[in-house]
Amino acid sequence: MTGAVTITIANRGGASFLVDPKKPLLASLEAQGVSLPYGCKYGGCITCAAKLLHGEIDQQAAVALNNKQLRDGYVLLCVARPKSDCTLDVGVDSHDKLYRNPFAEPLKQDELKADIATQPEETR
Ligand code: FES
């Protein structure tokens, strides 16, 4: 595989996989026998979220993540393409900071997506 990068899964015993950086990580890892949770497969539900520990990911289609989740290192494997070798924690045991009760702990303005945090001109 030309241009392949190495994906290491820290919370699966440090197992590593060579993947094509042009393909989404969920598809590449599942093709190599890694069992991962997923739902929509288009970046909309966050079921496939994993925590990026090292490396760089392109995930422009990850519309379901808010700024806090992005800052906490979450990536959506169904749309994430690796830009370098990466180390990830995957599965529900990586979701410790992913979900929170919005009534007990509302998100601050800077933790929302920019288009949610900014009111359109005509509604002000
Ligand atoms: S499976 Fe829904 S966001 Fe990845």
- pLDDT score of 2: 75
Task: Give the chain's mean pLDDT.
Answer: 91
The domain segmentation of the chain, as residue ranges, is: 5-119
> How far is 76 from 61, CA to CA, in rounded Å?
9
Q: Does the Cβ of 46 fall within 6 Å of ligand 1? A: yes
pLDDT of 119: 64
59 DSSP 8-state letter: -
What gap in Å lies between CA 117 and CA 46, rounded to an integer? Answer: 20
Contact yes or no for 19/5 (Cβ under 8 A)? yes
- Ligand 1, closest atom to CA 39? 1
> Domain 5-119, CATH 3.50.50.60 — does that match?
no
Residue nearest to atom 3 of ligand 1 (CA): 43
Pocket test for ligand 1, best of 29, 45, 60, 70 (most atoms within 8 A of CB): 45
The amino acid that residue 6 corresponds to is T
What local confidence, expressed as pLDDT, does residue 114 receive? 75
Tokens 């393409």 correspond to: 81
Q: In the Cβ-directed half-sphere of 113, how many Cα atoms lie within 13 Å? A: 8
Confidence at residue 105, expressed as pLDDT on a 0 to 100 scale: 85
Burial environment of residue 98 by CB neighbours within 10 A (0 to 12, 13 to 18, 19 or more) = middle
pLDDT of 43: 94
Instruction: Please report the atom of ligand 1 found closest to the CA of residue 64.
Output: 3
Q: What is the pLDDT of residues 40-96, one digit of tens each?
A: 999 999 999 999 999 999 999 888 999 999 999 999 999 999 999 999 999 999 998
